[in-house]
Amino acid sequence: MTTIKIQGMSCQHCVDSTRKSLEAISGISNVQISLAKGEATFNGEVDIQIVKEAITRIGFEVIQ
């Protein structure tokens, strides 16, 4: 399981947008988003740069 920290999420719509963006990436499954923690967890082997680009496209930032 991979966990990434995401900056900028503030509401349930943000959570839903983030989940949909990550679920659209081939190879990612079991996406869980925590608004309180500001993080996303998922299963799958995928280039983290692809994940960062997907999150950036919807207006948020991956922080490591």
Indicate the residue type of 10.
S
- What pLDDT is stored for residue 25 in this prediction? 96
- What pLDDT is stored for residue 35 in this prediction? 96
Domains of the chain, start order: 2-63 (3.30.70.100)
CA distance 34 to 58: 17
pTM summary value = 0.88
- Provide the 8-state DSSP code for 44: S
- What pLDDT is stored for residue 12 in this prediction? 96
Strand order in the sheet with 61-63: 29-34, 39-43, 2-7, 61-63
What is the chain's pLDDT, residue by residue, as a tens digit (64 residues)? 999 999 999 999 999 999 999 999 999 999 999 999 999 999 998 999 999 999 999 999 999 7
- What pLDDT is stored for residue 64 in this prediction? 73
